């Protein structure tokens, strides 16, 4: 039995990864800001109190671990939780601590679209720099870049599901033909667990589902799944960009969409080099089946 240390274990994806790693017979050591508020307990699970900014807590987390899975990430900056602090400095702290502790393998979560391109969003640029920190640590590593993840707790899916129940029509931007390749959270969890075990070569891999769809198809499928399909209202892309730039001055918690979030949506999140089956041998669940499981509340490993 291996010991796998996990950051971000209580987040959207982290909870399913914890379950998958435990189900495969490994011990899990996770980092938690407030251990008393953990949403789950299980045999084989131990908790290290602390945060990503606490180097001593990170050292305790990874000390003696066979593998580390680093998942912590944010989609919008709030206060001290900036992209640089979380995606770059956090990755550096974890990677260096793993090297010092002699960890055999580091598995790092990035995202489809991560790149250094100056025209990329700050989110994607920070993800690319975080990947660099992992590579420069000089230990065996796997970087996984999932596309949009479908699962219980997905914020965009939950929001669109509510809108289909509340609104007479759903606004979409421009032609809404932005490419997507949604991937089931259970398949993502399996890939991360396998990577921690040493399955597949070291390096960076993108993970997507079997279905390449448009944003319009994504929105319509959610409406059908919740039993309230609504017509779509097309907002001209130029008008959407103008409105999003105005929303940039609002706190992220109340801004409907920011200009950077709109850019990421328009760029799409499909992958031309899907490794989920080629590298990990996982036959990914189709989008509509994954959506049905997500909305009825099945866990990532449900059947």
For 5-21, how does the pLDDT look when each residue is reduced to its tens digit (9 = 90+)?
A: 999 998 999 999 999 99
Is residue 302 pLDDT above 50, yes or no? no
| 254 CB neighbour count, 10 Å cutoff | 7
**Percent of the chain whose predicted confidence (pLDDT) is above 70:** 97
Helical ranges in 71-112 per DSSP H: 83, 90-101
Retrieve residue 162's tokens.
């509510």
Question: For residue 227, what are the contacts with CB-CB under 8 A and spacing of at least 6?
Answer: none
Whose structure tokens read 């240390």?
A: 5
Residue pLDDT, tens place only, 72-93: 999 989 889 999 999 999 999 9
Distance CA 241, CA 254 (A): 17
pLDDT by residue (tens digit) across 221-277?
999 999 999 999 999 999 999 999 999 999 877 888 999 999 999 999 999 999 999
pLDDT bucket at 298, cuts 50 / 70 / 90: low
């Amino acid at each position: 039995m291996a010991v796998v240390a996990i950051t971000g274990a209580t987040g959207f994806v982290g909870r399913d990864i914890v379950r998958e790693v435990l189900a495969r017979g490994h011990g899990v050591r996770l980092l938690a800001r407030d251990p008393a508020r953990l949403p789950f307990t299980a045999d084989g699970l131990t908790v290290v109190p602390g945060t990503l900014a606490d180097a001593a807590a990170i050292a305790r987390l990874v000390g003696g671990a066979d593998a580390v899975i680093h998942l912590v990430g944010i989609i919008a900056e709030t206060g001290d939780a900036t992209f640089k602090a979380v995606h770059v400095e956090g990755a550096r702290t974890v990677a260096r601590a793993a090297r010092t502790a002699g960890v055999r393998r580091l598995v790092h979560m990035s995202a489809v679209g991560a790149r250094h391109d100056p025209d990329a969003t700050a989110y994607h640029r920070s993800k690319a720099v975080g990947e660099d920190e992992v590579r420069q640590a000089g230990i065996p590593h796997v970087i996984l870049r999932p596309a949009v993840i479908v699962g219980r707790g997905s914020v965009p899916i939950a929001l669109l599901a509510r809108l289909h129940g509340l609104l007479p029509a759903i606004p979409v931007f421009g032609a809404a033909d932005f490419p997507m390749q949604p991937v089931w959270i259970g398949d993502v969890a399996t890939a991360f667990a396998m990577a921690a075990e040493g399955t597949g070569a070291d390096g960076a891999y993108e993970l997507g589902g079997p279905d390449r769809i448009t944003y319009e198809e994504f929105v319509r499928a959610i409406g059908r799944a919740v039993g309230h399909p609504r017509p779509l209202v097309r907002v001209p892309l130029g008008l959407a960009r103008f409105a999003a730039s105005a929303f940039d001055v609002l706190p992220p918690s109340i801004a409907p969409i920011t200009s950077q979030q709109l850019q990421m949506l328009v760029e799409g999140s499909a992958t031309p080099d899907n490794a989920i089956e080629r590298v990990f041998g996982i036959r990914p669940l189709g989008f509509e089946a994954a959506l049905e499981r997500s909305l009825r509340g099945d866990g990532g490993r449900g059947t």
